[in-house]
Amino acid sequence: PFMELPVWNFWVAATEMILSVRLLNEGKIAKPLARLVNVIDEATANMLALFVVLVPLLALTSLMHSQLFGLFDEGFADPLVSLSRVVNMLTAPPSASNTEGEVTDAQRSGSMLLFYWSTLSIRLCFGSFIVAILVGALNKACAVARVRLGVGALNKA
């Protein structure tokens, strides 16, 4: 075969991502997408600055989880897998019957510390920052659109 199926799926998904970025770049052609593209243009610099701070913080958090829980749970032994588990715990918490486990029993104080650290620093602060950046970008894009409409109305008069 030309490619194995998992490799083919990866390249199809990567191509679709590139097409999505291109759509955002050329989205100003369609009127309904123009506002969305303007918001993303306004928010890009601040989002990149946020990710420059967020990436080291996520890396340190995954290393902390690996050090505290890697001995007891092999899912935390690898820092990259640990990072994906931390993000999963923050975005989709386990069911009520599975909130405390062997890891928590082995590192009770560490699990409490990292629960609050992860929740406050990553979920609340950075989640709020992303919303604030996008709302600010939307306000700027709307103001620019209103100015353009006002200038267009003045030119017609």
DSSP character string of the chain: --S-HHHHHHHHHHHHHHHHHHHHHHGGGSHHHHHHHHHHHHHHHHHHHHHHHHHHHHHHHHHHHHHHHTTT-GGGTSHHHHHHHHHHHHHSPPPGGGSS-HHHHHTHHHHHHHHHHIIIIIIIIIHHHHHHHHHHHHHHHHHHHHHHHHHHHHHH-
Residues of the chain with pLDDT under 70: 1, 92-109, 111, 151-157
pLDDT (0 to 100) of residue 13:
93
pTM value > 0.85 = no
pLDDT (0 to 100) of residue 145:
85
Sign of CA dihedral 93, 99, 103, 109: positive
Domain boundaries, the chain: 30-156
pLDDT (0 to 100) of residue 63:
84
pLDDT (0 to 100) of residue 45:
93
pLDDT (0 to 100) of residue 96:
58
